[in-house]
Amino acid sequence: MKTISDYNFENKKALIRVDFNVPLNEEFKVTDDTRIQAAKPTIIKVLEDGGSAVLMSHLGRPKGVQDEFSLRHIVEKVSEVLGVQVKFVANCVGQEAEDVVEALNPGEVLLLENLRFHPSETAGDEAFAEQLSKLGDIYVNDAFGTAHRAHASTTVVAKFFPDQKCFGSLLAKEIESIDKVLSSGEKPVTAVLGGSKVSSKITIIENILDKVDHLIVGGGMTYTFVKAQGGQIGDSICEDDKQELALEILKKAAEKGVQIHLPVDVLGADAFDNNANTEIMKVDAIKEGWQGLDAGPETLTNFHDVILQSKTILWNGPLGVFEMENFAKGTIALGHSIAEATQNGAFSLVGGGDSVAAVKQFGFGDKVSYVSTGGGAMLESLEGKTLPGIAAIEN
């Protein structure tokens, strides 16, 4: 795996694909700079070598040129994070961009305008990728969040840098972290899969059954498994058409010697409401008109024991409706268990939108080994797919 540490950027211009698709408020100020912070080590390495950095990114899903999606809004924040006054050019290809790049001095950083102002970016257009390639001597992909997209800037551009392309430190870390879970991690390996639907996680489950020792199933998925086995789930969320699939997963896991851990009790509620009446119930005996909205205390004790025995942990998806305070306890307890295991030397990887949101909300970010920056890309990696943005560097 060729990474940024294999190159010296002295007097070189690095064309870096970053993921600066950050949230902005009504005043167009950045409200969460996590993705900018994540790209910082790669950019600083280039500058410290005596090179210059040309940054390209998308922001949102603009329809043509729309000022609200202009990357000029984030120049101030990027400058603040990097500690360098970042320059900006109002296009990402063409003569103007080429002239500004040409005039860049070592130690300088240039941010190009939103790639997606050009439909050619998402179309993976080769001529557009060739235009981008004129803006650097070495191509660096550091955008894991878009590595599953075969876009011009994430994949196609790499072919114009046959020997001068590498992964940035963020993308390299993402690849290593997923590899630890899927192949090189110390056993026992435990995957915690939560969220509401079995259907959205089925390919992940099928791919990781050969690689894990324990699979903890939580969240809304629980009730499809419980109902499939004849349990009473009241009004809990359930994918009726996936019950056979749930039984198949249980059978496959047993054949492969993987222990599946399902909740045994839940916090039931008589409405999908933070202020609903609640009661602890057995997971397979939920009363009519009630629904399970969080894991129960006995379940959390069981999960805690499994996690503390684990040496490698993947967490993808919450255990309950954590957006409502009264149903967040299970997800918070799971976070504490994973933090404790990590402190004891386990490797823990958290990924997927909701789990990352929970980790941030409840302050577990620095208590786990790695928090993935790419939702869709992370899930496709766990499904065993080769991501186009990664293949483009490795080929």
Residues 189 and 278 in one domain: yes
Residue 240 covered by a domain = yes
Give CA angle at 267 (352, 372), nearest 5°.
10
Q: Is 355 assigned a ligand-binding role in the annotation?
A: yes
- Are 143 and 224 in a shared domain? no
Q: Is the pLDDT score of 353 beyond 70?
A: no
- Asked whether the beta carbons of 143 and 167 are under 8 A apart, the reply is no
Is residue 110 over pLDDT 90? yes
Same domain, 163 and 190: no
Kindly state whether residues 66 and 162 are assigned to the same domain: yes
Structural domain including 71 reads 4-171
Query: Would the pLDDT of 384 be above 70?
Result: yes
- Length of the chain in residues, anyone? 395
374 has pLDDT over 80: no
On whether 125 is known to bind a ligand per the annotation, the reply is no
Q: Residue 337: inside a domain, yes or no?
A: yes
In a domain, 180, yes or no: no
Confirm whether residue 252 is marked as ligand binding: no
| 390 belongs to a structural domain | no
Strand partners, 112: 89
- Whether cis (ω within 30° of 0) applies to the bond prior to 119 is no
pLDDT tens digit sequence for 259-302: 999 999 999 999 999 999 999 999 999 999 999 999 999 999 99
**Is 59 annotated for ligand binding?**
yes
Does residue 149 have a known ligand-binding role?
A: yes
State the pLDDT at residue 382: 85
pTM of the complete model = 0.86
Please say if the pLDDT value at position 373 is more than 90.
Answer: no
Q: Are residues 202 and 124 in the same domain?
A: no
**Which two three-digit tokens encode residue 330?**
């299970």
Residue 17 assigned ligand-binding role = no
Residues 60 and 192 in one domain: no
Each residue's pLDDT tens digit, 320-333: 999 999 999 999 99
- Which residue, 84, 121, 88, 74, is CA-closest to 106? 84
Whether residues 250 and 320 share a domain: the answer is yes
Phi, psi angles (nearest 5°) of residue 371: -110, 115
User: Is 201 annotated as belonging to a binding site?
Assistant: yes
Q: Has residue 188 got a pLDDT over 70?
A: yes
pLDDT of 240 above 70: yes
184 known member of a binding site: no
Q: Same structural domain for residues 272 and 352? A: yes
pLDDT for 45 equals 98
Residues 65 and 113 in one domain: yes
Distance CA 337, CA 102 (A): 52
Q: Does residue 375 have a pLDDT over 80? A: no
Task: Give the model's pLDDT for residue 377.
Answer: 84
> How many domains does the structure of the chain reveal?
2
Assess whether 75 and 44 both reside in one domain: yes
* Residue that terminates a domain, selected from 112, 139, 171: 171
Cβ-contact 314, 180 below 8 angstroms: no
Q: Residue 347 in 3-state DSSP?
A: strand
Active site residues: 35, 197, 353, 376
| pLDDT tens profile 131-186 | 999 999 999 999 998 999 999 999 999 999 999 999 999 999 999 999 988 888 89
CATH number for the domain spanning 258: value is 3.40.50.1260
Q: Is residue 211 part of a domain?
A: yes
Banded model confidence at residue 311, pLDDT cuts 50, 70, 90 = very high
243 and 107, same domain (yes or no): no
210 annotated to bind ligand? no
* 49-58, 117-126, 364-373, range with the lowest pLDDT: 364-373
The residue among 138, 171, 204 that closes a domain is: 171
